[in-house]
Amino acid sequence: MDFKDIQSAWNNEETDKVVVPTQIEKLKSANMPLDNIRKNLKKEFVYQIISIIFLGGIPVLFKFPPLLTTAFYGLFVLFVVICAYFLAKLFLFYKRLNTVNTNTKDNLYDTYFDVRLNMELYKSFTYSIMPFALIFVGMIIVKDHSQEMIDVILHKKSGDFMLGMLFGVFIGAMVSVAFITEWWVNHFYGKYAKEIRKVIDELKE
């Protein structure tokens, strides 16, 4: 192969696969936000497991009667199954981040969208377990006001005020959880996703 053949082969190389030193430095700068996401995910698993264990002890802590305890653990099993599903998904995401290769723009782009996808997964996880949390809190309230609830059910006294209060608490809790979830995800994951996106945008210039 003479010099002209070599030059022709060089010119035919796909330019988007050629990484110049400046691009290498920019690609390396994406490792810092990815490291922060990994650290936050690792902490997240610990928090979630501790929370599940704590919730499992509610009947003991609040001295539920046998019937209410049975109802609680019936729902708790379903709650744990849902948590296990989502936590398994997040764990697989964590494992992917540990092996991710950010040496090319395409890989970094794929990683960015994986981060964004799992941010939405985290939100879905939170919203899916929210009804269980409200029911568990409701069980604690019912335990202390069981006779009042029975009277309402049996129409021995008006339940309009109590039903209105429960509806208000439900709406307030949903709004609060939505706000906290958005803040939590953006604070611990979203700002780092933006940093990765910034690197991708700089590579386009």
In a domain, 2, yes or no: no
- 19 pLDDT higher than 50: no
In a domain, 108, yes or no: yes
Q: How confident is the model at residue 169 (pLDDT cuts 50, 70, 90)?
A: confident
Predicted local distance difference test score (pLDDT) of residue 157: 53
In a domain, 137, yes or no: yes
59 burial (CB, 10 Å; 0-12 / 13-18 / 19+) is: buried
- The helix/strand count (H/E) of the chain reads as 9, 0
What percent of the chain has a predicted confidence (pLDDT) above 90?
48
**For the chain, what is the domain count?**
1
Q: How confident is the model at residue 102 (pLDDT cuts 50, 70, 90)?
A: confident
81 burial (CB, 10 Å; 0-12 / 13-18 / 19+) is: exposed
Instruction: Let me know: does 152 contact 159? Beta carbons within 8 Å.
Output: yes
In a domain, 56, yes or no: yes
Least confident among 5-14, 67-76, 77-86, 187-196: 5-14
Span 106-112, mean pLDDT?
A: 89
In a domain, 192, yes or no: yes
Q: Token pair 């945008």 is at which residue?
A: 201
Span 87-107, mean pLDDT?
A: 87
The span from the CA of 61 to the CA of 63, in Å, is: 6
In a domain, 7, yes or no: no
In a domain, 4, yes or no: no
Span 132-147, mean pLDDT?
A: 78
Range of the domain at 185: 20-204
Structure tokens at 19: 């990484």
Predicted local distance difference test score (pLDDT) of residue 158: 52
In a domain, 91, yes or no: yes
Q: Token pair 């379903």 is at which residue?
A: 78
